[in-house]
Structure 1
Amino acid sequence: MSKVFTLAEVSQHNTNKDCWLIIDGKVYDVTKFLDDHPGGDEVLVTATGKDATDDFEDVGHSTTAKAMLDEYYVGDIDSSTITTKTSYVPPKQVQQNQDAPSGFIIKLLQFLVPLIILGLAVGSRFYTKSSDEK
């Protein structure tokens, strides 16, 4: 029977002198492999303290690389200690009042009202000037 570790226990092994990873529910002590890892040791060290399955799969490791994992296997992870992934839920959209004026109308009014005021001011000036000449 294999040993079962909690996430807290595995997370303590997070340096380049002592590095454990969780991949597909299994725990691997990859410390001896750090110097030989083609992507460098930092990639492995940053994958500690969490479920690194997605990181491992996203890279597209070869079947040979996957087979090498057996050499570093130390036990299984207690899956109840790993937080489950939650799916993205977009924020609720604020419902717009259908009776309220649309943004287009407001922008149009913000443009037209000053023009109308300017037109009235200029028009009244010409009107008063022409009235004075009579």
Structure 2
Amino acid sequence: MPSFYCSACAADDLSDQRRMFSQPDTLRPGLACDLSQKASSEHAEYPPLPKDLPDHELPYILPAEVARRDGKKDPALWLVIDEIVYDCTSFVDRHPGGDAVIKNFAGKDCSWQFHKIHNLQKIQNWLPYLRVGRTKGVRNPYPEPKAGFRKGF
């Protein structure tokens, strides 16, 4: 499968070499750059952070601030995955699974659902560009099914 090279990512200080994307149907060349640049211009208060910044060094964001970024009262759409806050505002229209799931979880935690659906190896090149902080105490509106739960019984 062909890879796509993002020259802007390679040239900026956020790069750890080159950004390669291998899924042309879901990720196009420069996606990480586009997301990072658009998010930083839209939400200067919480700009995207360097990809190589460790999670424990991310700024702390209060749960109430995360909840406010639900796309309703505030146009921003933030999600929490494993206590890391992601600004998905510029990504919502590009999400391969559609915008409904991001809008449903905006301002909330979606950790267990995210891990059940996504392959981390395929998204690790661009997901860190959406990080804006870390938090604690943001709740997932849905309890995780017990082990052994199966669809359709």
TM-score range, shorter chain: 0.5 to 0.7
Letter in 2 for 1:47: F
1: distance between equivalents of 2:123 and 2:96?
A: 11
Ranges in structure 1 where 5+ consecutive residues have no aligned partner: 89-134
Aligned to 1:53: 111
Following superposition, the deviation at residue 87 of structure 1 comes to 9.5
State the identity as a percent: 30
Structure with the higher fraction of residues in helix conformation: 1
Following superposition, the deviation at residue 61 of structure 1 comes to 3.0
Partner-residue secondary structure (3-state), 2:86: strand
- TM (norm. structure 2) is 0.48
Ranges in structure 2 where 5+ consecutive residues have no aligned partner: 1-56, 146-153
Larger Rg belongs to: 1
Following superposition, the deviation at residue 50 of structure 1 comes to 2.5
Aligned to 1:72: 130
Partner-residue secondary structure (3-state), 1:75: strand
The question of 1:63 aligning with 2:121 is answered yes
The question of 1:38 aligning with 2:129 is answered no
Partner-residue secondary structure (3-state), 1:32: coil
Q: CA RMSD in A?
A: 2.8
Give the conservation status (yes or no) of the 8 Å contact 2:109–2:139.
no
Aligned length in residues: 86
Aligned to 1:126: none
Give the conservation status (yes or no) of the 8 Å contact 1:47–1:55.
no
- TM (norm. structure 1) is 0.54
